[in-house]
Structure formats: C-alpha cells, structure tokens
Structure 1
C-alpha cells in the first residue's frame, strides 16, 4: 500500500499530526522531495501546507487558527483539496472524534458530517470511509506535540505499555484502511493492524520514515524533552472520576504554549471511571515559559481542573 500522509498543523487543538511528527523528524518538503520519498518507502508523514498544493486553504487556515474556528464549510474542502491534489482516490479514511469539547459533540452531528463528506468526496472520485471515534476524553494520557510524540513512540516500541485507548483507536483506523486496500477482509482489519503493531513492524516502518525525512531513527521516548517549567496537581479528595473535560484541557494546554512551543503540554494520569485517593497525582502541566505556566495554572485553579470527581451515585430520588 502507498500511504502519503499529509497533515495540517493544529488549528483549534493543542497539537496537529504535523506538529507532533515534527518532534521526531522534519515535515516540510517540496513536492519533488515528497515524490522521491514515497517512491522509495511508499509512505511519508508531512505537513501539507509546505507543498502549496492547496494555496487558498493555507490562507483560510491562517484566518481560522487565531479565531479558534473551523466550520464545516471550510473543513471539507480543506481536507479534500489536499488529498485530491496528492492523488488520493483509492481509499481515504477520515477520523471524526465525537464527544463534549470536540467539533462534534454528539454522534448524530458526526454522522451528519460523515454523510456530507462522503458524498462530496464521491463527487470527486474519492472513495472515502468515515470513522466516528469516542473522544469524550483525551485518547491516551498526553496532550501536546512533544508529549504525544513521546507516548506514540513508547507504544510503537512496546505494545504492552498501552495506553489501551490509543491502541484501540489507532488500530481501528488502520484496520479500515487495510480493508479498503485489500490487505484484510471486512471486519478483520483491526486484528491485522494489532498484529503489525505487536510484531514491531509498525515501529520498523516508523523508524524508516523518520530516517528518510531526516530525523534520528534511533530516537527513544526518553530523548524527547518536555517543558522545563512544570506543575503537578493532586486530588483534594477521594472518589471516582466521572468526567474529563476536553475543553478545559485544551485551554490549559494552549495557555502553556501549545502548539507552537512543542515541549509544552499536559499529562492526564487517570481518566473516567478510575478510582483515585486523596493526595494522588492526577495532572501535570509542562511549559517552555514560566509566564505561560502561570497562565495555565490560573486556568486550572479557576475552573477546578478538567478532572471531575464524584461518587457512583448520581442522585437519590
């Protein structure tokens, strides 16, 4: 399979795929360089904006980013313009995260977008499938360019370290692509994707991509530095986590410097459903700046933090 992965930098989130990949290797290349890389390795993970294949989209993104605004009418042409320009037509898998604090707060909104997207893609001869994925809380435990790259690399090196949510989401999406590419029967793609991940072949391929794009193929998770200004937060009571607020996490991560300061980010140690004890560490902010850390701490304290505690009883009537 040939998979030229073009990605955007973050528009409304604390980190985009290109932002995290850039921690591991350069992502800015010319069209000629990309063509050479794909012909050699059948894959790449690059920033699509550098190719100038959809120049109008680049202008619109620069308008959207400071406004923290990414409407449907711009999202669909933004995605498809770059994919069509890259020659993608045989198979496109679109991840649609659904949950509070995301662009699609309910499954019905996600489905509506998926149907519109698939119809427009079909009009341009692009075979697309959409995957609605759970996003009521962060996938994994990391939010921010460097810390997400660290978490992903750790999983590629050792399947057993998890986190399970990252394994399930990544292999679900990869499985759909494997099925569309004829590498697995329908319904069997995720099993094959997990085998590829467990065997170490996914890491080997990622290592090849990193090297081809000019990064250090021997980079280890511990080599990835996080912001020197850090603040840990501890639970002030015991209980079960009933909610992890994505919107507050995004606010804190951006205040800490994401996505521009790649070493900035947050780490969420326990998530929804987990039982925690008073005094247990639940959250850490990393920042490249003392002032930014101060702003991020202020948001955490003023909101009470993104981790909501409660008992298992909602209400007695």
Structure 2
C-alpha cells in the first residue's frame, strides 16, 4: 500500500485518554479501497512520526470529504495540527498476541515471548482490550516465578534507568497497597535521607486505592520531574518523592496500570513485576516491601502473604536487588485521613510532631525506616529503631522533608474540603471490624 493515501487532519476535540482514535467517513475512499471498517487498526504517518490508531466511523455530516478527525492523544503523538496531511496505512501485524492466546490456554510463556508482549505494549501496538486480555490471563497466580522474572526484566528493558555513580547502596521501600491511609513513604524517605543515605523514591498513582504516594505528594509539591532534575534533587538532598510515570522508568507498567485501574485489578505477578521493575529502573540496590495482611486488605491470609514475600525475594535476587519483606497488620486503615490531601495532613502532623499526629502511621513508618537502617548500616533492628525515632523526634526528619520539598519546587498549602459533614454514631458499642475495601470505595466515590 502506498503512502499516497492521505487525509487532512481535523482536531475533533475528543479526549480518548491514552488510546489514539481516528475518525473517518463511511464513504471515505481509503476505507473503501483498503477495506477499513469500524475498529480496524491503522498506521497513521506524519513526517517521521507514526501512530497506530483505531478507526471510528462517523456520518458524512461530521467530516468533510478527504479529512480525518483525530482524538487528542493521536494529535499529540503525531505532532500534527488541523489542516496537516497524514498518510493512512495498514497497521503492522502484532505477532506477540499469539503469546497472549497461548497463555489463555494455560501454557507457560518463554522469556522471549514475554519480552515481545511488553515491547509491543510499550510501543502502543496493543488496544486497551488486548492489554486487558493480557492482564486477565496473568492475574491470580497464573505466572510462575520464571515468568515474573521475565516480565520484570522486560519492563525494565523498555524504559529509562537512573544511575547513581559513586553510591554503593541505594535504598527504597514500597507498600503493596490495599490499606487506606498507609502513607508511610514521605516519612520514611525523610528519616532515611536525613541520615545521609540515598533513597530516590519514584512512586505510582493509585490503582485500587483512593490515593497513591504520587497523588498525595502532588498535593504538597511538584512530582513531575524529568530525569536530570531528579538527579539534581537527589544530589542536593539524598532523596526525592516523585511520580515515576513522568520519566518513563517503566512505560509498559504505566500503560498496564491505566487498564488495571479500570478493571480494579492488581494481579500477583503483575504487582511484583510492577514494583521491582521500577526499583531496578530507579537504581535501587536494597528495598523493604510492606505487605499488609487482613480480611479486607489486598492480601487476606498469612499463607498468601508469605508466598508473596517469597516471590518478591526470589525475583529481586534474580534481578540484583536485595529485598526484605515485612508482613504487617492490615486489619484496618492507617492514620486519620483517606485521600491525597487528608493523607498529606497526616504526614505533616507526624513530621511536625503534632499532638494530633496518628500514632499508628508514625509507628509503621518508624518500623520501615528501622529496617532500612538495619540493612544499610548492618545494625540490629532495635538499634535501627532507636536511630529512626531520634531522627523523627528531634525534628531532623521534618527539616529534611522541607529541604526535599524546596528542591522539588516548594511546599504548597493544603486546601480545605469545600463540602464537610460529620457523621455521628446512632448507638453506643464497640467496632468489631472495618472493611478496607468498602471504605476505599466510599472515599473514591466521594471524590
């Protein structure tokens, strides 16, 4: 097919999120001659830019003859403006979809097959439906340890990497989520970096919870830093608290997370690969993984928590990262607030040693910081806990947090909620339990 099949671009002003859509008339000569119909995949070409898009067919009255409408993301990726001419061609065959079909029927995937799938997803060759299919067949315990290692390495290979010349040990931490309000990361990063240790923290946005660390930090400061700026901030403060998606450390994972969020799905193998690929890409050498366990947490039983911890350790070792897993109490939410701004208030209260600071959030952060000190300084956990407590109680952590915020663009004041309502109990009694999932859903529905 010749690249002579050209159409004039019209910015149609439709936001299709991250899926490029091209709108074409039903009587379009290209559609007729090439057999394109609704949902056909086509290759759009403008100068050296190429984008694979899905066709949506529109009535003749929507578009002039010889024109094509583009969604916002298609316009952005092609770098075109209304009136520019684009070529329309057949989309290349995505051979890696054969591996997805193979997995649907329960077969193990090779390193090469997994690498091909992730490479094609990173290149935006998969539709959202195809990504959802891949996530579904990998959910639960459908990936064995070899496949998870391959998935992790494939994600790393498709993204950029941070390096820290002259730094032998780079620390990190992660909580697998599922526990509202468990915002320990800003506290841990402040304590650890206040001791002069390097801990460049790149975080994701929420998948199944009302807020991720990146969401919470964005209410306090700028988290969209490029690689060069991240390295400058870390050189100045030994730490950062940024959104990993802004620097393409694991672009495939960012695309997968977008679909996981819509499905409310966070499969075991994908979870491990997502976490560790970003640790590796951030240059981390040692990391503590927090695994909350509870009847309504992401991990329900101690057996499941131990299995997950074992997989994290095995995959980390295979990829050159020392992992220490903590199985923690996930029976109820942590802190007082749920959602980015309210969780940020809790973080500030703990750092500022306020009387109203949530004790459970403080204690969890101290435990994780103590484990990191134990790994970094080769000291016992009790000594690590003493060190972490001294840094927090002396105000050094708060001072360090302010340094990090200043380096990232400054500390922003937190807004007050416009709508506020106090719900009081209608009877006396003792709470028997709290459903983390329902509480998280309620918080999301409340905005």
Q: Which structure is larger by alpha-carbon Rg, 1 or 2?
A: 2
CA offset at residue 235 of structure 1?
A: 0.5
Partner of 1:9: 205
Distance 1:225 1:113 in 2: 38
Distance 2:294 2:338 in 1: 16
Q: Which SS does the other structure have where 1:129 is aligned? A: strand
Distance 1:159 1:166 in 2: 13
Structure 2 residue 439 is matched with structure 1 residue 240: no
CA offset at residue 183 of structure 1?
A: 6.7
TM-score using structure 1 length: 0.77
C-alpha contact 1:159 1:197 (8 A) present in aligned 2: no
Out of 182-191 and 141-150, give the one that drifted further.
Answer: 182-191
CA offset at residue 16 of structure 1?
A: 0.4
Gaps of at least 5 residues in structure 1 are 258-317
Q: Deviations over 1:175-195 (max 9, x none)?
A: 101111107433321222111
Distance 1:88 1:42 in 2: 13
CA RMSD in angstroms comes to: 1.3
Structure 2 residue 339 is matched with structure 1 residue 144: yes
CA offset at residue 199 of structure 1?
A: 0.5
CA offset at residue 159 of structure 1?
A: 5.4
Q: Which SS does the other structure have where 1:197 is aligned? A: helix
Q: Deviations over 1:185-231 (max 9, x none)?
A: 33321222111111001101101011110023xx6xxx422321122
Q: Deviations over 1:141-162 (max 9, x none)?
A: 1111000001110111115433
Partner of 2:294: 99
Flag the structure with more relative contact order, 1 or 2, with Cα contacts below 8 A and sequence separation at least 6. 1
Distance 2:293 2:414 in 1: 30
Number of residue-to-residue matches in the alignment: 251
CA offset at residue 106 of structure 1?
A: 1.7
Distance 1:188 1:110 in 2: 26
Distance 1:81 1:243 in 2: 35
Distance 1:107 1:209 in 2: 37
Q: Deviations over 1:248-297 (max 9, x none)?
A: 2111101011xxxxxxxxxxxxxxxxxxxxxxxxxxxxxxxxxxxxxxxx
Distance 2:208 2:246 in 1: 19
Q: Which SS does the other structure have where 2:381 is aligned? A: coil
Partner of 1:267: none
Picking from 235, 249, 260, the partner of 1:39 is: 235
Distance 2:234 2:405 in 1: 13
Structure 2 residue 325 is matched with structure 1 residue 135: no
Q: Deviations over 1:117-170 (max 9, x none)?
A: 100000011001011111211111111100000111011111543321111100
Partner of 1:164: 359
Picking from 371, 379, 386, the partner of 1:176 is: 371
C-alpha contact 1:178 1:184 (8 A) present in aligned 2: yes
Picking from 379, 393, 404, the partner of 1:209 is: 404
Q: Deviations over 1:91-119 (max 9, x none)?
A: 10111111122210122211110001100
TM-score using structure 2 length: 0.55
C-alpha contact 1:159 1:198 (8 A) present in aligned 2: no
Distance 2:395 2:358 in 1: 16
C-alpha contact 1:19 1:145 (8 A) present in aligned 2: yes
Q: Which SS does the other structure have where 1:254 is aligned? A: helix
Gaps of at least 5 residues in structure 2 are 1-196
C-alpha contact 1:96 1:131 (8 A) present in aligned 2: yes
Distance 1:63 1:100 in 2: 25
